[in-house]
């Protein structure tokens, strides 16, 4: 099914399949598996069984399912699975605004809408590009490991900023933020790479958050409290600014 074209007229084939496991899981699963086997060999069942279940948990955490991304130049899609915990008007991070000496323009200063998506340890942790273009900046910043659900985590926690620019010059910034348990941010792309809308761009190990900074004049199409699916949920229509109301059931 990967890279197959599907549409709203019924074209294409859609079948259920087991999600693949990202290679980042291999070393962690191998360590837990060897430890489980060793414990079983010495008849330490009280240790062998939990370690065996840990192997399954690691594989589940690093699962990497196929996603079907709507293809429309107006759509900005969710970069992460998880819960929309914050939607605020904020200044973009200075690392995405300031002149970095490369000659590449950053984001324009001034308040924009920031959408924060919180990932629990049960969510898929593969992050995806919110829209297609060229990666102009990748900026890693060491920091603390506070609860990623807090507003100040965007300024205090370990994080990694991305700036993607489309061929028409529209730019969007987004940030991977480590949390209480997350201790490692991994990028799959680098500056100068071209990415497609919904393409895998990185992961954060063991619970975290991703912030998206929408372009000026664009508002959120998701609601606080809504769950998102990375690469599939449309979180904004470029250039559309409107109020939305939802009811929790």
pLDDT of 228 reads 96
**Mean confidence (pLDDT) of the chain:** 87
To the query of whether residue 116 is one of the catalytic residues in this protein, the response is no
What HEC string does 165-208 produce?
Answer: ECCCCCEEEEEEEECCCCCCEEECCCCCCEECCCCEEEEECCCE
Q: How confident is the model at residue 184 (pLDDT cuts 50, 70, 90)?
A: confident
Bridge partners for 164 per DSSP: 135, 172
Residues 231, 198 contacting (CB under 8 angstroms): yes
The residue from 116, 154, 208, 219 that is catalytic is 208
Q: How confident is the model at residue 220 (pLDDT cuts 50, 70, 90)?
A: very high
Please report how the helices 45-61 and 25-41 are oriented relative to each other, as an axis angle in degrees rounded to 10. 170
pLDDT of 24 reads 82
Mean pLDDT of 86-95: 93
Mean pLDDT of 161-170: 92
Residue-wise burial string across 66-85, b where 16 or more C-beta atoms lie within 10 A, e elsewhere: ebbbeeeeebbbbbbbbbbb
Mean pLDDT of 194-215: 89
pTM of the entire predicted model: 0.86
- pLDDT by residue (tens digit) across 5-55? 888 888 888 888 888 888 888 888 899 999 999 988 887 888 888 898 989
């Amino acid at each position: 099914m990967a890279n197959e074209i599907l549409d709203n007229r019924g074209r294409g084939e859609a079948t259920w399949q087991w999600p693949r496991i990202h290679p980042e899981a291999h070393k962690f699963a191998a360590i837990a598996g060897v430890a489980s086997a060793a414990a079983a060999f010495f008849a330490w069942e009280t240790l062998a069984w939990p370690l065996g279940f840990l192997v399954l948990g690691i594989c589940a955490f690093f699962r990497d399912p196929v996603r079907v991304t709507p293809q429309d130049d107006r759509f900005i899609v969710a970069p992460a699975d998880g819960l929309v915990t914050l939607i605020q008007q904020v200044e973009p991070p200075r690392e995405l605004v300031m002149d970095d000496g490369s000659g590449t323009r950053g984001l324009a200063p001034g308040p924009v809408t920031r959408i924060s998506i919180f990932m629990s340890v049960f969510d898929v942790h593969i992050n995806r590009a919110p829209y297609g273009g060229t990666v102009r900046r990748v900026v890693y910043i060491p920091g603390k490991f506070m609860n990623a659900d807090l507003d100040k985590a965007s300024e205090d926690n370990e994080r990694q900023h991305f700036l993607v620019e489309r061929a028409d010059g529209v730019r969007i910034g987004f940030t991977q933020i480590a949390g209480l348990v997350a201790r490692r941010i991994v990028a799959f792309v680098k500056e100068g790479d071209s990415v497609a809308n919904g393409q895998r761009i990185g992961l954060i190990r063991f619970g975290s958050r991703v912030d998206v900074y929408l372009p000026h004049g664009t508002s959120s199409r998701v609601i606080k409290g809504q769950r998102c699916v990375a690469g599939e949920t449309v979180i904004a229509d470029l250039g559309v600014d409107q109020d939305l109301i939802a009811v929790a059931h």
